């Protein structure tokens, strides 16, 4: 109930802001607007019509707009449309005032023409920092780090470091950690802001700093960076080159975006899609992204059809066998997908180590045997009661037991093998595993049926 009231209050505030915006109550608009959180400012901005956005640009400076642009997350086409309606010089100043890593994320989504124009129009120092960050691969530590951080030298006193910190803090993304470098700009240590505040003013930074620093290489994959920051509960992590020169830092808010991105990506691949699909995509774009997997699965489905043709005589002799094909195939697919989800999640979170892979495979196989045995016994009882055919019940029950056992084993081994080959295990998608298990379950089912055909007839 409180959440509904809070939402209604925000909506009313947005309506009031819109009135001040349209009636040119500039001072009132600015007072109310800057009382909002940056996220709320960005939400208000996204709800505006283009004419109202143009009024905002007149009431707010590029630096002030940059404050809430850091919170925007739009599709590439939406950024193109947004910048088409914004004055190029205004947009360049705004992008230059943003946190550099966020500005890079936006500029990587716009056309080359706009990118070149913005970099030409913005301040040279801002353009240089942005160009530097754009040279790094997108999904690496370098691609998500920011160069806006505070560092001090080990030869400074605490008093000098505090003075330096006050001077640099306004242009830094975070100051919870103060990184210490030597005269060659190599990472030498770290201090928390708390440790710096309580230290003696005349103490040297080199004497009070923590020399053991966990850092990541600029080329490290962002997923591994996220795992390290999660394990160590860091608010920020230093990024270094192969010679330990401090290049930038990765903050917790950037890692939250990475975790969300990686989770969405894994979910898409588990669903048999090659990439995350924006809701703004057209039908054609959506179909183009999904077709590769679906075409591949179609050919795999043809194998299933060919197998049914092979066992056509068996079905002709005992037609009731066809009634249990969906049950066996569906249960095998479901159990295989469950094991797949466990394995992919364990690999993604780092819970599965080399030493525990065999243990996981044995556990999942054991689970497949137990669940297959229980479900097989239930089907045996139902079939024996309804069809008065214990032999048919045995065939279906044993087929289900074998199919579910093999499905759980396959669902575990496939992602483990793919991870070993440095292939994203999420590519072993649910549809792929389900189709593969259909083939296996049909082969097991009809092989048993042929073996016991004389008893069935």
Q: Which long-range contacts (CB under 8 A, 24 or more apart) does 118-127 make?
A: 118/88, 118/91, 118/92, 119/92, 120/92, 121/88, 121/89, 121/92, 121/93, 122/92, 122/93, 122/95, 122/96, 123/93, 123/96, 126/95, 126/96, 126/97, 126/100, 127/96
Do 111 and 16 share a domain, yes or no?
yes
Q: Is 406 domain-assigned?
A: yes
Do 257 and 403 share a domain, yes or no?
no
Domain edge (last residue) among 108, 138, 168: 138
Q: Is 278 domain-assigned?
A: no
Of the candidates 288, 275, 311, 312, the residue with the CA atom closest to the CA atom of residue 426: 275
Per mean pLDDT, which range of 67-76, 139-148, 290-299 is the poorest? 290-299
Of the candidates 247, 201, 187, 255, the residue with the CA atom closest to the CA atom of residue 227: 255
Q: Find the CATH number of the domain harbouring 251.
A: 3.10.580.10
What average pLDDT does the structure give for the chain?
Answer: 84
Query: Is pLDDT above 80 for 130?
Result: yes
Do 133 and 206 share a domain, yes or no?
no
Domain edge (last residue) among 239, 267, 295: 267
Q: Is 78 domain-assigned?
A: yes
pLDDT band of 202, cuts 50, 70, 90: very high
pLDDT in tens, 270-307: 555 555 555 556 677 667 766 776 677 677 777 777 77
What per-residue confidence (pLDDT) applies to 424? 67
What per-residue confidence (pLDDT) applies to 289? 67
What gap in Å lies between CA 262 and CA 424, rounded to an integer?
11
User: Is the whole model's pTM more than 0.85, yes or no?
Assistant: no
Do 254 and 319 share a domain, yes or no?
no
In the sheet with 177-181, reading across from the earlier edge strand, the strands are 151-153, 177-181, 187-192
Give the angle subtended at the CA of 409 by the CAs of 406 and 414, to the nearest 5°: 120
Q: For the residues of 35-104, what is the DSSP string, one character each? A: TS-HHHHHHHHHHS-HHHHHHHHHHS-HHHHHHHHTT----HHHHHHHHHSS-HHHHHHHHHHS-HHHHH
What per-residue confidence (pLDDT) applies to 429? 58
Q: Is 389 domain-assigned?
A: yes
Do 298 and 251 share a domain, yes or no?
no
CB-based burial label for 35 (10 Å; 0-12, 13-18, 19+): exposed
- Longest CA–CA separation in the chain, Å: 97
What per-residue confidence (pLDDT) applies to 243? 92
Query: Is pLDDT above 50 for 89?
Result: yes
What per-residue confidence (pLDDT) applies to 450? 86
Do 215 and 72 share a domain, yes or no?
no
Q: Is 381 domain-assigned?
A: yes
What per-residue confidence (pLDDT) applies to 341? 79
Domain that holds residue 186: 151-267
Do 58 and 121 share a domain, yes or no?
yes
pLDDT band of 170, cuts 50, 70, 90: confident
Of 359 and 66, the one with more pLDDT: 66
Do 314 and 448 share a domain, yes or no?
yes
Do 293 and 363 share a domain, yes or no?
yes
pLDDT band of 349, cuts 50, 70, 90: low
Q: Find the CATH number of the domain harbouring 434.
A: 1.10.357.20
Of the candidates 6, 9, 60, the residue with the CA atom closest to the CA atom of residue 33: 60
What per-residue confidence (pLDDT) applies to 339? 85
What gap in Å lies between CA 350 and CA 93, rounded to an integer?
42
Do 64 and 180 share a domain, yes or no?
no
Q: Is 143 domain-assigned?
A: no
Q: Is 39 domain-assigned?
A: yes
Query: Is pLDDT above 80 for 50?
Result: yes
Tally of domains in the chain? 3
Q: Is 274 domain-assigned?
A: no
Q: Find the CATH number of the domain harbouring 40.
A: 1.25.60.10
The answer to whether 96 and 126 are in contact (CB under 8 A) is yes
Do 174 and 103 share a domain, yes or no?
no
What per-residue confidence (pLDDT) applies to 277? 54
Do 14 and 58 share a domain, yes or no?
yes
What gap in Å lies between CA 367 and CA 319, rounded to an integer?
32
What gap in Å lies between CA 446 and CA 308, rounded to an integer?
9
Per mean pLDDT, which range of 50-64, 150-164, 316-330, 401-415 is the poorest? 316-330
Of 352 and 67, the one with more pLDDT: 67
C-alpha dihedral over 349, 354, 355, 359, to 10 degrees?
70
What per-residue confidence (pLDDT) applies to 264? 67
Domain edge (last residue) among 138, 169, 200: 138
pLDDT band of 426, cuts 50, 70, 90: low
What per-residue confidence (pLDDT) applies to 276? 56
pLDDT band of 4, cuts 50, 70, 90: very low
Query: Is pLDDT above 50 for 5?
Result: no
């Amino acid at each position: 109930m409180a959440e509904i009231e809070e939402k209604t209050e925000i909506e009313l505030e947005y309506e009031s802001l819109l009135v001040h915006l349209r009636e040119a109550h500039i001072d009132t608009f600015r007072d109310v607007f800057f009382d909002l959180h940056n996220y709320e400012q960005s939400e208000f901005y996204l709800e505006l019509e283009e004419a109202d956005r143009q009024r905002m640009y007149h009431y707010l400076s590029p630096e002030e707009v940059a404050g809430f642009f850091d919170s925007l997350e739009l599709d590439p086409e939406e950024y193109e449309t947004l910048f088409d309606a914004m004055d190029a010089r205004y947009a360049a100043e705004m992008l230059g005032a943003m946190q550099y890593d966020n500005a890079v994320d936006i500029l990587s989504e716009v056309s080359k023409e706009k990118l070149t124009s913005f970099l030409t129009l913005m301040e040279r120092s801002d353009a240089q920092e942005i160009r530097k960050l754009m040279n790094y691969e997108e999904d690496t530590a370098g691609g998500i780090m920011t160069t806006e951080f505070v560092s001090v030298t080990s030869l400074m006193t605490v008093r000098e470091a505090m003075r330096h910190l006050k001077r640099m803090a306004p242009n830094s993304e975070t100051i919870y950690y103060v990184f210490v470098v030597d005269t060659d700009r190599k990472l030498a240590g770290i201090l928390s802001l708390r440790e710096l505040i309580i230290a003696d003013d005349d103490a040297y930074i080199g004497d009070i700093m923590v020399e053991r620093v966990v850092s990541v290489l600029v080329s490290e994959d962002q997923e591994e960076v996220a795992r390290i920051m999660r394990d160590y509960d860091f608010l920020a992590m230093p990024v270094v080159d192969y010679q330990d020169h401090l290049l930038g830092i990765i903050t917790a808010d950037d890692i939250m975006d990475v975790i969300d991105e990686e989770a969405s990506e894994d979910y898409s691949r588990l669903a048999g899609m090659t990439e995350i699909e924006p809701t703004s995509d057209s039908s054609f774009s959506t179909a183009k992204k999904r077709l590769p997997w679906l075409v591949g699965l179609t050919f795999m489905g043809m194998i299933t059809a060919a197998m049914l043709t092979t066992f056509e005589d068996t079905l002709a002799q005992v037609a009731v066998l066809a009634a249990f094909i969906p049950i066996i195939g569906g249960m095998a697919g479901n159990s295989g997908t469950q094991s797949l989800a466990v394995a992919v999640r364990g690999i993604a979170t780092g819970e599965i180590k080399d030493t525990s892979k065999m243990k996981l495979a044995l556990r999942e196989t054991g689970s497949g045997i137990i669940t297959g045995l229980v479900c097989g016994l239930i089907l045996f009882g139902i079939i024996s009661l309804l069809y008065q055919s214990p032999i048919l019940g045995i065939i279906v029950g044993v087929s289900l037991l074998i199919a579910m056992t093999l499905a759980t084993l396959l669902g575990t081994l496939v992602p483990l093998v793919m991870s070993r080959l440095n292939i994203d295990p999420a590519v072993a998608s649910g549809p792929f595993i389900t189709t593969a298990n259909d083939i296996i379950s049909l082969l097991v089912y009809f092989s048993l049926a042929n073996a016991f055909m004389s008893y069935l007839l």
